[in-house]
Chains A and B, each alone.
Chain A
Amino acid sequence: MVSRRSDAPSQSGCGLLQADNVTYEYGAHVSGRTQGSPLRVDGGDRAGTDQSSARAGVHGVSLSVAEGDLVGIIGPNGSGKTTLLRLLAGLLRPSSGRVMLGGRDLHSFSRRELARRVAVVPQETRLAFDFTVQEIVLMGRFPHLGPFEMEGRDDVAIAREALRSTGTLDLADRPFATLSGGEKQRVIIAGALAQAAAVMLLDEPTAALDPGYQLEITALLRRLNAERRVTMVVATHDLNRAAALCTDLVLMRAGRVLGGGPTRDALTRENIRRLYDVEADVAFSERAGHVTVVPIRRV
C-alpha cells in the first residue's frame, strides 16, 4: 500500500483501487451527488454519531490500495474519511481527480457492474420493514441477477456460504430486527460477501458495538481478508481498532492526507498529535498482538 501527499499523484502505482488527486466539496457541487441519492430517508445509513464528518469534503487526495490489502483510514471527526470512502465506492463523483478500479475509471462502470466489484458495509443498518436474515443476505445477489430474475439455487447456496463464514447460519430465518448489534453487523458483512465483490469498503464497522462485538468483528474481517483475499478499506476513528485490524493506515485531517504506511510505523505519538492534537501513550501490547493507544490529554 502506498499513500502519498497530494503533490505526488503521478507516482501512484497500479493498485487495485486508486484515487488520483481527488477533490470533493459539498454544496459547491450539488450535481455530483447523482450517483448516490438526493433522497436520504429517516437517517438510515449514517445515523448518529458522525454527521459532521459526513459533510466534510476532501482535497487532492491520492492513495493506492493493492489487492489483498487491509487499509485503515484514520482521522478525527470531520476529516473527510466517510467522504473519501463514498468516493471510493462511487457513491459520490469527484469534482476533480479520478478514482480508478483495476485501471478503469470508477464512473465508467454501471451501478451493477460496480456492485459486482465493490461492496460497502455501513456503520449501522436500520430497516424500514423487517426482512429475515437470509433475505437481507440474498439482496447482495442483486447485481448478479437480471431485472426480473429470481434468486436461484446457486444464489441461495452462495448466501448460505456467506452466512456460514460469518458464523450466522443459525440465524438465517430470524427477523433482522431481533438481532443484536454484533449479529446485525455480521449479517451485513455476509451480504457484502454474497455480493462476491473483490473490494469491501467499511465505514466505522465497529463504532456502534460494545468491546466484545468489536473484537468479534475485527477477527472476522481479518479472517475474511486472509482466507478470501478480500481487499478492505476501513474508515474509523478508533485507533485501537485500526491497530488491531489494519496492515496499513492512511492519516487524514481536514480533508487532506497527512501521510500513511504500515500500521506500526504510522501509528506514532507524533502522528497522533498531528491528527488529533492529542498527546497519547503508544505501546506494543504482546497480549493484544498490536499497538495500543491511550489518549492522555488534549494539546
Chain B
Amino acid sequence: MSLKRRVFLTVLVFGLAALGACTLAPLVGSTPVSLRRVFDRSIPFAENPDAQIFFVARLPRTVAAALVGSALATAGVVFQALLRNPLATPFTLGVSAGAALGAMLAITFPVSLAFAGVSSVPIASFAGALGAVAIVYALSTVRRQGLSTEVLLLAGITLNAFFSSLILFIQYLADFSQTFRTVRWLMGDLDVAGYTPILASLPFTLLAFAVFAWLPRVLNLLTLGADAAAARGVDVVRSQRLAFFSASLATGAAVSLGGPVGFIGIIVPHMVRLMVGSDHRVVLPASALFGAAFLVGCDVLSRSVMSPMELPVGILTAMIGGPFFLWLLLRQR
C-alpha cells in the first residue's frame, strides 16, 4: 500500500473514531439527551433543553478533552522522536509540571496581560513548558552522549518534584478558597466553564499543529541519530529547535486548558505505533486524532463510574498510564 493511501486511510479511520467519540460523549450524563432532538432544526434553540444541555453544558467539556488529548499525544510523539526515547513525554519529562507552574502563577496572581485580548494563562503555561524544555535541552546538550533512559527519568523526577514544590508554595500563599479549584485542576480536570478557555488556548494549539505538519519526515530521520539525519540532508539544529518549540506550545495549551493530565503522551503514541507502524507521517496525524478520541473516552468514563460525582480525568489516565509506563520500561532492554 502506498504511503498516501496509508495516511488517507489512517486519517479516515481515526478521524471517524474521534468524531464519533465527540458526538456521543455529550449524550452521557445524569440527564438523558436524545441525539435526534439535539439536531432537530424545527425546534428553536431556546425551547430545546436537549440541545441546550448538549451544546452549552456538555460539549465544551468534550471539545476541551479532544483538544487536550490531541495536543498531549502529539507532543509525546515529538518528544519521543527528538530524544530518541520511547519513555519521553510532556508528563514524564516535567514539561507538564512546568506548564502547570506557569498557569498557576497566572491564575493566582492575575495580571491583566492585554496581549491583543489573549488570556495570560495559556501564555504563562507555554512559558513554563518552554522553561522546562530548555532545561531538558540543556541537559542533553551538556551531556554530549545525550539522554539515556536513566538520565531522562531522573531529570523528569527532579523537574517534577521541583515544579511541584513551587506549585505547593504558591498554593500555600494563595487564597484558601482557590485551593479546592486548583487542586482539582492539578489532577487534570476538564470541567471547563463554557467555550472561553477553549478559545483562549486554541490559537496556541493551532500554531503548534501547523508546525507539526512540517515535522514528520524530519522526525523519521532523527530517530536514526543526529549525525545520520544530518548526513541525509536534515538541518538538525533548526529542526530540533522547531520541534521543541512546537511541542512546548502544544503542552502549554493543553495544560492551561485541562491541567497536567498525565500519561496521554505515552499511552496514545505507543498504541498508535502498534497499529500503524513507526512512520511519523502516519503516526503524528493518527496520534492527534486517537489522542482526542482516547481522552474524550476517558472523560466519559471518569464522569460515569462514580456518577453523579465527576472524577478529574487525570486520576483515571494515571491509573491506566502508570502500569502502562512500567510495562514499557520492562520491555526496554
Residue B227 contacts which of A45, A111, A140, A150 (CB distance < 8 angstroms)?
A: A45
Given the known interface contacts A115-B233, A127-B223, the answer about A135 and B146 at a Cβ–Cβ threshold of 8 Å is no
Chain-B contact segment, one of A31-39, A67-75, A161-169: A31-39
Task: Count A-B contacts at CB 8 Å.
Answer: 136
Asked if A246 is at the interface (CB within 8 A of a chain B CB), the reply is no
Residue B232 contacts which of A86, A128, A195 (CB distance < 8 angstroms)?
A: A195
B4, B233, B236 — most chain A CB neighbours (10 Å): B233
Asked if B83 and A41 make an inter-chain contact with CB atoms under 8 angstroms apart, the answer reads yes
User: What is the distance, in angstroms, from B235's C-beta to the closest C-beta of chain A?
Assistant: 5
Within 8 A of B (CB), among A119-135: 119-120, 122, 125-132, 135
Task: Name B235's closest neighbour in chain A (CB-CB).
Answer: A111
Cβ proximity bits B218-257 to A, threshold 8 Å, 1 near / 0 not: 0011011111111111111100100000000000000000
Contact partners of A46 in chain B: CB under 8 A: 227
Asked if B137 and A39 make an inter-chain contact with CB atoms under 8 angstroms apart, the answer reads yes
Separation of A38 and B4 alpha carbons in the complex (Å): 34
Residue B228 contacts which of A43, A125, A145 (CB distance < 8 angstroms)?
A: A125
User: What is the distance, in angstroms, from A265's C-beta to the closest C-beta of chain B?
Assistant: 32
Task: Name B145's closest neighbour in chain A (CB-CB).
Answer: A43
Cβ proximity bits B72-105 to A, threshold 8 Å, 1 near / 0 not: 0000000011111110000000000000000000
| Contact-residue bracket for chain B | 35 or more
Asked if A116 is at the interface (CB within 8 A of a chain B CB), the reply is yes
Asked if B331 is at the interface (CB within 8 A of a chain A CB), the reply is no
Given the known interface contacts A38-B141, A147-B214, the answer about A43 and B86 at a Cβ–Cβ threshold of 8 Å is no
User: What is the distance, in angstroms, from B284's C-beta to the closest C-beta of chain A?
Assistant: 12
Within 8 A of B (CB), among A100-148: 111-112, 114-116, 118-120, 122, 125-132, 135-136, 139-140, 142-143, 145, 147-148
Asked if A286 is at the interface (CB within 8 A of a chain B CB), the reply is no
User: What is the distance, in angstroms, from B1's C-beta to the closest C-beta of chain A?
Assistant: 12
Residue A129 contacts which of B140, B147, B223, B233 (CB distance < 8 angstroms)?
A: B223
Asked if B3 and A119 make an inter-chain contact with CB atoms under 8 angstroms apart, the answer reads no
Cβ proximity bits A6-48 to B, threshold 8 Å, 1 near / 0 not: 0000000000000000000000000000111111111111100
Separation of A127 and B221 alpha carbons in the complex (Å): 10
Asked if A135 and B279 make an inter-chain contact with CB atoms under 8 angstroms apart, the answer reads yes
Within 8 A of A (CB), among B36-87: 80-86
Contact partners of A151 in chain B: CB under 8 A: 3
Asked if B119 is at the interface (CB within 8 A of a chain A CB), the reply is no
Given the known interface contacts A43-B148, A131-B279, the answer about A120 and B223 at a Cβ–Cβ threshold of 8 Å is no
Contact partners of B217 in chain A: CB under 8 A: 142, 145
Contact partners of B149 in chain A: CB under 8 A: 42
Separation of A213 and B233 alpha carbons in the complex (Å): 29
Separation of A148 and B229 alpha carbons in the complex (Å): 17
Asked if B184 is at the interface (CB within 8 A of a chain A CB), the reply is no
Residue A41 contacts which of B4, B147, B278, B279 (CB distance < 8 angstroms)?
A: B147
Asked if A41 and B226 make an inter-chain contact with CB atoms under 8 angstroms apart, the answer reads yes
Asked if B146 and A39 make an inter-chain contact with CB atoms under 8 angstroms apart, the answer reads yes
Q: List 29 A-B contacts (CB under 8 A).
A: A36-B226, A37-B236, A37-B240, A38-B141, A39-B226, A40-B227, A41-B85, A41-B140, A41-B225, A42-B85, A111-B234, A115-B233, A119-B231, A120-B227, A120-B231, A122-B227, A125-B224, A126-B225, A128-B84, A128-B86, A132-B277, A135-B278, A136-B224, A139-B232, A147-B214, A150-B3, A150-B4, A151-B3, A191-B232
Task: List 14 additional contacts besides A125-B224, A151-B3; criterion CB under 8 Å.
Answer: A37-B230, A38-B144, A39-B141, A41-B82, A41-B83, A42-B147, A42-B148, A42-B149, A119-B231, A125-B228, A130-B278, A150-B281, A191-B232, A195-B232
Residues of A whose CB lies within 8 Å of any CB of B are: 34-46, 86, 89, 91, 111-112, 114-116, 118-120, 122, 125-132, 135-136, 139-140, 142-143, 145, 147-148, 150-151, 191, 195
Residues of B whose CB lies within 8 Å of any CB of A are: 3-4, 80-86, 137, 140-141, 144-149, 214, 217, 220-221, 223-237, 240, 273, 277-279, 281
